[in-house]
Amino acid sequence: MLLQRTLTALLLAPLVIGLILLTPNWLFAPIVAIAFLAAMWEWTRLSGLKETLPRGALLTFTAALFVLCWLARDTVWWPLLIGIGVAWWIVVGQWLRHFAFGAAPTRENCLLKLGAGLLVIVPAWVAVVALHGAGEHGQWWTLLALFVVWAADIGAYFSGRLFGRRKLAPTISPGKTWAGVYGALVAGALVTYVGGVLLGVSGGKLAGLLVVSLVTVIASVVGDLLESLMKRHAAVKDSGNLFPGHGGMLDRLDSVFAALPVFVAGKMLLGL
């Protein structure tokens, strides 16, 4: 499984990097929207919505929200939506403390989870498009944000395998350990330091960026745990089977969805 996951990642990574570095913002935005809509499609199934027609209607609604957000770019709405995204992940932290909340397959819980999906995906799309289009180095900042999440994932895997003893959230994701979190924090900070220096960040702002990276990594862990919670409630192993060894689109983007609003909000607060 590790070999399969590695090969899939090696094939996907150049495509993602090329998309970030080689496409203008007006083209980057709809391509990312398509990927995010694929994740939303999987989210609807995890939420308990089985019928194709209502799932398609919600997907259309989400796409319409992306269009409205694009039309509202460069206005106060974008920072507001990014702030809503950050606030949402704070709320999720409380949800994770109550595993059974929303678990029953009721209509009310289905609607709750569908609404949660919009709060997961729409602010993340606004954040990544805003980051990508922010000045001449926006594409490199976008790459750094993803590298932080990827490094955290790798650091968590290996430190968890080597030193993992104490479980992080055994009822939600039995494989995750506190050692994995520490490894993720270290790996994310190292990548941020190198990336920040290469982008010309120094002094107090570099120290602030390191703090932002730590919070970003914590958010990415929360995002991963939320999807694990959804899969536990739905009694499935993966959100889909799009990527061999990696599951579905949502399995690949769960951490990214949480990390992006936090990273972008932190960058904005630092004035970078």
- Decide if 114 contacts 59 (C-beta within 8 A): no
Report whether 212 contacts 266 (CB < 8 A).
yes
- CA dihedral 212→131→122→232, nearest 10 degrees, is -50
Helix and strand numbers (H, E) in the chain are: 9, 2
Residue of 125, 112, 132 whose CA lies nearest to 64 = 125
Domain edges within the chain: 2-270
Beta-strand (E) ranges in the chain? Answer: 167-169, 173-177
In DSSP terms, 247 is beta-bridged to: 243
- Closest alpha carbon to 155 in 197, 187, 131: 187
Count CB atoms within 10 A of the CB of residue 225: 22
Q: Report which of 247, 46, 7, 28 is spatially closest to residue 141, judged by C-alpha positions.
A: 28
Task: State the virtual CA torsion across 238, 242, 246, 250 in degrees, nearest 10.
Answer: -60
DSSP 38-99: HHHHHHHHHHT---HHHHHHHHHHHHHHHHHHHHTTTSTHHHHHHHHHHHHHHHHHHHTT-T
pTM for this entry: 0.93
pLDDT at 174: 85
The residue among 32, 67, 35, 101 whose CA lies nearest residue 240 is: 35
Cα(37)–Cα(31) distance, integer angstroms: 10
Written as tens digits, the pLDDT of the chain (272 aa) is 556 666 666 778 888 899 999 999 999 999 999 999 999 999 999 999 989 999 999 999 999 999 999 999 989 999 999 999 999 999 999 999 888 888 888 999 999 999 999 999 999 999 999 999 998 899 999 999 999 999 999 999 889 888 878 998 888 888 889 999 999 999 999 999 999 999 999 999 999 999 999 999 999 999 999 999 999 898 888 777 666 556 788 888 889 999 999 999 999 999 99
pLDDT at residue number 235:
86
What is the number of other CB atoms lying within 10 angstroms of the CB of residue 150? 19
Question: Looking at residue 5, what is its pLDDT?
Answer: 63
Q: Position 138: which residue type?
A: G
| Separation of alpha carbons 12 and 15, rounded Å | 5
CA separation for the pair 186, 97 (Å, rounded): 25
Report which of 37, 27, 33, 263 is spatially closest to residue 125, judged by C-alpha positions: 33
Q: Which residues contact 154 (CB under 8 A, 6 or more apart)?
A: 187
